[in-house]
Chain A
């Protein structure tokens, strides 16, 4: 029987599902401020600075102070704006970010005993689910930028649209090679298929393309054109204040975690690692941390690409490379 689009590979009890979603949500909400601090600390080190160390021991209270500051701020709305759309945009942004978290696998089914997998849901369309919500998340940027009624926000929104079309295809094609090799789109199936060899080895080109496109997907430097603090004063989120801005900000970091999780599952063998299967989540988190450190490292190193450079890079370099990669993989797998 062919699986339906909304089908799941393995159905668990309602209580287990609720508990899992709560745990994942709480875990990520705890991890986001830590990543924020890690980023600021590491950025400091990359620039021969120390980074925040005044609030609490080692600056651990810094994210808390930031969030409290954002919470106490006013949500100002310009006269030219469309208020309800401005309210909606951060909601879409954070919804799409959190929803994609559900498919990130942290551990195998039954890794911690019992009959449940250490992931939110295991959908057979796996990676398509991620693409669907990743593309939807861009509506938040475009809606937010357009509804702000400010020219800088509008420019940011237009840039994010241009960015979307120029790398999203390459992102999809880079993962297609893995899907062809694993003969499945479900992330857990893909990890199972990597039992002997991680896909970073046979799919190295795909990995590189995914990494570059992933930077663009998360709107982080060097592809943070939609924000562009220095040229378009914050881009799509110029007019957002208080926790609306905070939501965009948090969505960016959750997206970073999601991209790290997808990369871990698709290329670095997910929960596979030495030791018993119960250590799976630890390996997953360590591998994700590796990607997050890489994200920060690249942010500290590379300057922002120009708008036309991103376009030509996406269309002239990434897309042909990704297509070639898929074609070669398909021919090799088919023969």
Chain B
């Protein structure tokens, strides 16, 4: 073991010259001009503002936004079988699933049972994506929508119909690698 050397990791602090004198005036003048050049450079570059309600920032493909429930594209049956694994995995306990039996007359999902009630409380959701990981049928995934503001708390409890439906306005998506 090497003995402790207090000078080994000492960093030399380099300060500017002391203020005062003609050299200081010259420096101040030069720095002022440099500052003016910097701000003018911003004008030349142009604004970088996204005018939000009209222009939306595109999200990355793996962005975790509002959840989506899925159906089979061919049969139109729901993928969710009401197993409640997502509710069990949810750390914020914001998912509520009540399962019911499928009958031949009333076939809702592809499995034996289906989710009669499927609610996500968006005021509690932390958008961790564990529900997506837990789901054995890829029935629930995290979508791209991030505009989730509403006027009352009860409006933010999303029901199964709301989660199955497409969002009213699609969120722009970044291309892969962008």
Contact = CB atoms under 8 A, between A and B. Distances in A.
B51 interface: yes
A300 interface: yes
A323 to B, nearest CB: 16
A302 B35 contact: yes
Contacts of A297: 36, 39-40
B45 interface: yes
Interface string A295-309: 001101110000000
A46 B32 contact: no
B43 A46 contact: yes
B43 A301 contact: no
B25 A50 contact: no
B51 A45 contact: no
B30 to A, nearest CB: 13
Given A45-B42, A317-B25, A50 B36 contact: no
Interface in B125-160: none
A49 B51 CA distance: 10
B51 A50 contact: yes
Contact of B43 (A45, A298, A317): A45
A48 B32 contact: no
Interface residues of B, number: 15
Contacts of A317: 25
A300 B32 CA distance: 12
Contact of A46 (B25, B39, B49): B39
A317 B46 CA distance: 37
Contacts of B36: 297-298, 301
Contacts of B49: 48-50
Interface of B: 25, 32, 35-36, 38-40, 42-43, 45-49, 51
27 contacts: A44-B47, A45-B42, A45-B43, A45-B46, A45-B47, A46-B40, A46-B43, A47-B39, A48-B42, A48-B45, A48-B46, A48-B47, A48-B49, A49-B47, A50-B47, A50-B51, A297-B36, A298-B36, A300-B39, A301-B32, A301-B35, A301-B36, A301-B38, A301-B39, A302-B32, A302-B35, A317-B25
Given A48-B47, A301-B35, 14 more contacts: A44-B47, A45-B46, A45-B47, A46-B42, A47-B39, A47-B42, A48-B42, A48-B48, A49-B49, A297-B39, A301-B32, A301-B36, A301-B38, A302-B32
